[in-house]
């Protein structure tokens, strides 16, 4: 497969507490690797549950209330996500006490990391912190620790959250995605034109990448 020298532009609208976002990205990353596709990724914020309190909510109770699911439904879905994640090397550690959290500050910290060219690294570290280490990614000290773990300045990270300096940027970005018709995540936009929603699986992503590579610029 011939590729142009220009890297594929990939915009991903997602939330750190969205399990299918972690799965979908892992699937896409594997497809990019297998097809040897040059790419640039840009992450964009989406608030899955903007009304979640600071201390978070039990994930099972939250899903049952939000979608009207039974506890068995939640467990089946959790098993499906765990299996899908494992296939691409993302090993969810769901527990009975697994929580979902408010991510408004998370997105502000990612915006800050983007100014230092580290947004992608922080996003991956936050997926791990939430889904594997079961940490409260709505807590400012946890967020600062995760930022520090990838080499960013911990004190500056705390200050960013305390002074809410990027709050308006996040609100505008979230609103922009909604105006583009994005209502669910993950939503992946290739080259600013081709929108793909949901976790597609490695093979489907490979087919999409091949189709894009064959398109004239």
User: Could you state, in order of their start, the residue ranges of all structural domains in the chain?
Assistant: 8-53+102-209
In terms of Cα–Cα distance, which of 29, 149, 16, 21 is closest to 89?
A: 29
Give the per-residue pLDDT at 10. 98
Confidence of residue 2 (pLDDT cuts 50, 70, 90): very low
Q: What is the C-alpha separation between 204 and 177, in angstroms, rounded?
A: 24
**pLDDT for residue 52 is more than 50:** yes
pLDDT of 3 above 60: no
What length does the chain have?
217
Q: What pLDDT does 1 receive?
A: 44
> Residue 189: which H helix or E strand, with range?
strand 187-190
Say how far apart CA 204 and CA 52 lie, in whole Å: 33
Query: Which pair of tokens denotes residue 113?
Result: 């990391």
**CATH of region 8-53+102-209:** 3.40.30.10
For residue 184, what are the contacts with CB-CB under 8 A and spacing of at least 6? 197, 198
State phi, psi for 44 to the nearest 5 degrees.
Answer: -130, 145
Q: How far from each other are the two terminal CA atoms of the chain, in whole angstroms?
A: 15
Where do we find the tokens 């790419």?
39
Distance separating alpha carbons of residues 90 and 23, to the nearest angstrom: 7
Instruction: Tell me the C-alpha distance between 81 and 22, whole Å.
Output: 10
Give per-residue pLDDT as tens, 89-122: 999 999 999 999 999 999 999 999 999 999 999 9
Of the pLDDT bands very low, low, confident and very high (cuts 50, 70, 90), residue 12 is very high
Alpha helix (H) residue ranges in the chain: 19-35, 59-67, 71-87, 104-114, 119-131, 140-149, 154-163, 167-179, 202-214
Enter the pTM of the model.
0.95
Give residue 4's pLDDT: 54
Question: Residue 216 pLDDT > 90, yes or no?
Answer: no
171 pLDDT more than 90: yes
pLDDT in tens, 112-155: 999 999 999 999 999 999 999 999 999 999 999 999 999 999 99
pLDDT at 217: 65
Q: Select from 18, 95, 93 the least CA-distant residue to 60.
A: 95
Mean pLDDT value of segment 181-200: 96
């Amino acid at each position: 497969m011939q590729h142009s020298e220009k890297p594929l532009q990939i915009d991903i609208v997602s939330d750190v507490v969205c399990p299918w976002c972690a799965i979908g990205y892992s699937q896409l990353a594997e497809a990019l690797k297998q097809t040897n596709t040059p790419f640039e990724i840009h992450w964009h914020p989406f608030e899955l549950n903007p009304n979640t309190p600071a201390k978070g909510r039990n994930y099972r109770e939250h899903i049952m209330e939000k979608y009207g699911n039974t506890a068995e439904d939640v467990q089946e879905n959790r098993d499906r996500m765990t299996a899908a994640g494992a296939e691409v090397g993302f090993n969810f550690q769901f527990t009975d006490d697994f929580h979902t959290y408010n991510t408004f500050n998370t997105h502000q910290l990612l915006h800050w990391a983007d100014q230092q060219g580290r947004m992608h690294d922080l996003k991956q570290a936050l997926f791990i912190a939430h889904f594997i280490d079961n940490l409260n990614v709505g807590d400012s000290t946890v967020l600062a620790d995760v930022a520090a773990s990838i080499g960013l300045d911990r004190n500056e990270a705390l200050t960013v959250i305390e002074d809410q300096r990027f709050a308006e940027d996040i609100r505008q970005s979230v609103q922009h995605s909604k105006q583009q018709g994005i209502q669910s995540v993950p939503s992946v936009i290739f080259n600013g034109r081709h929108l793909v929603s949901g976790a597609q699986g490695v093979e489907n992503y490979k087919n999409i990448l091949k189709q894009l590579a064959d398109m004239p610029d």
